[in-house]
Amino acid sequence: MSDQTPYDCRANHKAAFDDISPVLLEDHLRKTGSKLAKQVKERGVEEILEDMQLLVGPPELRYIQNVAIMMFCELVTIEIEPDCINIMNFPGIDRSISEKTIAEGKRFVSRHYRNRRLGEFLKELDLSEGHSSGIPTIQEELEKNGSPRAEFFTDEDRRAMRIRIPIHPAFLEEGTDITETEEKTTKKVTKKMKQYSLILNFMADGEWHKTSEITEILGLKDTRTKELLKELVSLDKLVDDGKTKGKQYRLK
């Protein structure tokens, strides 16, 4: 039988307490008015997460729930381009949402509510939207501002999601071909998402791999491959062995 536990409530068997940012944890508790905010430094991350019911498993082997990783680790990258803002997030859009619906960018209604606990946390911060109204709200606010609609993308494996918010027409430099600029940016980011996916799929075996192996698969220069690997480490998708020379990587 498949695991019916929502994704955000499942144990993350690869996460460690060092992956949790005490700063983000304390900031969340402070914003929600919790007395635990003043105890983070004194008691430590593990005890605070225990009090927040974000750990699962037997007493001798506690695991962090995915929701804590999503809330208190920085897994989002924001890139500011000349013609837009790109927001990259892991994981991607649920498979129950069709590519046609994603391309339309109107309303995403999933058959599976995989992040119920995450929604509760965001609701405490007044950052959540119920009834699948989040995407329509984004588009409505952009329209009020006179900005183009946001665009949503995901890779075939649904490992990552990208949101593209185009620049307001008033800020375009005179003579700029917006269509050409958009195409270049979209092509660039889509290419990066595919490269991320290739790397993560190759490393699905959980073994350590050298940069040279990834370079060969991607067909890129060594320096560019190292940049991509470094980005995936910062996104908490990969770990390196800490060596200065001959560094190796594997899935986290």
Domains and CATH numbers, the chain: 7-72 (no CATH), 76-186 (no CATH), 201-251 (1.10.10.10)
* pLDDT value at residue 103: 82
Residue with token string 């500011």: 80
Residues of the chain predicted below pLDDT 50: 1-2
Peptide bond into 58 cis (omega under 30): no
Other beta carbons within 10 Å of 112? 12
The helix/strand/coil state of 87 is strand
Whole-prediction pTM: 0.54
Instruction: Give per-residue pLDDT as tens, 139-188.
Output: 888 898 888 999 988 877 777 888 899 888 888 766 556 566 667 767 77
Other beta carbons within 10 Å of 79? 15
* pLDDT value at residue 98: 84
Edge-first strand listing for the sheet containing 151-154: 76-80, 84-89, 161-166, 151-154
163 vs 123, 126, 169, 246, CA distance in Å? 21, 21, 18, 35
User: What's the CA gap between 90 and 70, in Å, rounded?
Assistant: 9
Instruction: Give per-residue pLDDT as tens, 30-43.
Output: 988 999 999 999 99
Q: Helices marked H in 32-133 — which ranges? A: 40-43, 45-51, 66-72, 99-104, 116-124
